[in-house]
Amino acid sequence: DFKQVHRAANREAAEVKLNEFANNWHQTYPKLIKDLLKMPNLLTFMDFPPAIRQSLYSTNLIENFNKHLKRTTYHKEQFPTEDSLDRFLVSQFNIYNEKSLKRIHRGFKGLQDTLEASFI
């Protein structure tokens, strides 16, 4: 049901779908619905072009990064100090950033000029 909020054509339609979702699930999850409706930035992604909305509300990029960290730290048994762990993680952040620096996420290539104009 909540996917319909993200698939809405515009912000007004998303608000309607959100209210429908809240009405359908309020009895089952009253606290969750109450907290969800209090979120002022919940529909901020609707202010962006439709081509990139999925990338904005999805957690795929974060999950991919976490998977990278798990893969690289799996072979390490332990770290002698907390500082060594920090240095290792920063090096992994840099490696990941360098690897994905040239990569353009789906939908962003055609809107690059528009997004640059919006944020510069």
Distance of alpha carbon 107 from alpha carbon 53, whole angstroms: 9
pLDDT of 18-44, one tens digit each? 999 999 999 999 999 999 999 988 888
Give the pLDDT score at 34. Answer: 94
Give the pLDDT score at 57. Answer: 66
- The segments of the chain whose pLDDT lies below 70 read 55, 57-59, 104-109, 115, 118-120
Give the pLDDT score at 97. Answer: 82
Distance of alpha carbon 20 from alpha carbon 43, whole angstroms: 15
